[in-house]
Structure 1
Amino acid sequence: MHTSSFQQNVLEELDRELAVTRKVIERIPDDKFDFQPHPKSMKLGQLGSHIVNLLKFKQLFVEANQRDFLDQNAPKPPPSPTTTAELLTRFDQFSEDLRQALRESDDQKLTEGFQLRRGEQVLMDRPKGGALRIMGLNHSIHHRGQLTVYLRLLDIPVPGIYGMSADEMGGF
């Protein structure tokens, strides 16, 4: 019988999702960073940066006990990349930082609480592992889905995510 820890399961899922997300980010053309499918939508470059910067947010869930959005001393995200190569460099670094934080954690630490706050207002209060899965992985998967729609609208072949894409199958 094979037993696996929660930490090991999250690392395995993270590795799979990161590999797929990297394939999607690789498709972003440098000359389309300003593409915006709707006035309420993020620009393509902003969306790509957000997906990458969420990796640091996930690391925070593992390493810290809280994050207050009103804390003026909290680290600010670095300036947004302006090329796909810069996005990928940051993605690779932030991915490795997150993996390392998870490897240094364990099931016990991942059951400790994490709060997302805005001053006195508690926006989220759950175990670190739950925060990582819900606000981390699921959040990134949501935005990766948005990114694939942007690619489709730009007629850029979409890589397979959970199986082959229509582009990989030759269309429908």
Structure 2
Amino acid sequence: MSIKQGFLIELERETANTRRILANLTDADLTFQPHEKSMTLGNLAGHIVELHNWVSIAISTNDFNIATDYKPLKPTSVAELQEVLEAGFIKNQSLIKSLPEEQWLSQWTVRVDNYIIGEMPKLGAIRFVVYNHLIHHRGQLSVYLRLLDIPVPGLYGPSADEQIAK
């Protein structure tokens, strides 16, 4: 299996997991904030969706400056989140398919102006900066759902909401 084939599988599965969470939300849920230091549910969901779209940023660039290249997604509806996720999925899929195998090992830098957060091959950027970061925040979002008594979908196996009563 090639690197791109592996990432295409991961892209499909992780996008499907985020789709399942978004499908359980309503627009009214977006303002929920479990603590004053926490993001609102809408901002957290927006960050998760935009992290999906960072796949194409890591593939198509060699340097990402958060100070100048990043504008947080501030969604106003669940439909907007779903639309941005789907558009990003199509773009990500196309870029992964088109990236020559040797480019996966080319250097990628994430920074805030002159402060370098990390330098790594694009392969590592997608794993560390994008997917691990995305999975972490999606885990937080699943707790928000639980606090709102919204069914939590199983992402890597059945959730407590999907368990068959014994």
Fold in common (TM above 0.5): yes
**Alignment map for 1:7-46 (pairs within 5 Å):** 7-46=4-43
Matched, 1:163 2:157: yes
CA displacement at 1:170 relative to structure 2: 4.4
Give the root-mean-square deviation of aligned CA atoms.
1.6
TM-score normalized with structure 1 length? 0.90
Unaligned runs of 5+ in 2: none
- Regions of 4+ moved over 6 Å: none
Matched, 1:62 2:62: no
Q: Is the 8 Å Cα contact of residues 15 and 52 (structure 2) preserved in structure 1?
A: no
Q: For the residues of structure 2 that align with 1:11 and 1:102, how far apart are their CA atoms?
A: 7
Matched, 1:128 2:125: no
Unaligned runs of 5+ in 1: none
CA displacement at 1:122 relative to structure 2: 1.4
CA displacement at 1:75 relative to structure 2: 6.1
The aligned counterpart of 1:53 is 50
Q: Is the 8 Å Cα contact of residues 32 and 44 (structure 1) preserved in structure 2?
A: yes
Q: 1:103/1:142 Cα in 2 relative to 1: closer, same or farther (>3 Å)?
A: same
Equivalent position SS for 1:147: helix
Q: For the residues of structure 2 that align with 1:162 and 1:54, how far apart are their CA atoms?
A: 19
Q: State the percentage of identical aligned residues.
A: 40
Q: Is the 8 Å Cα contact of residues 14 and 137 (structure 1) preserved in structure 2?
A: no
Q: Is the 8 Å Cα contact of residues 47 and 72 (structure 2) preserved in structure 1?
A: no
**Alignment map for 1:83-122 (pairs within 5 Å):** 83-122=77-116
Q: For the residues of structure 1 that align with 2:135 and 2:8, how far apart are their CA atoms?
A: 15
TM-score normalized with structure 2 length? 0.93
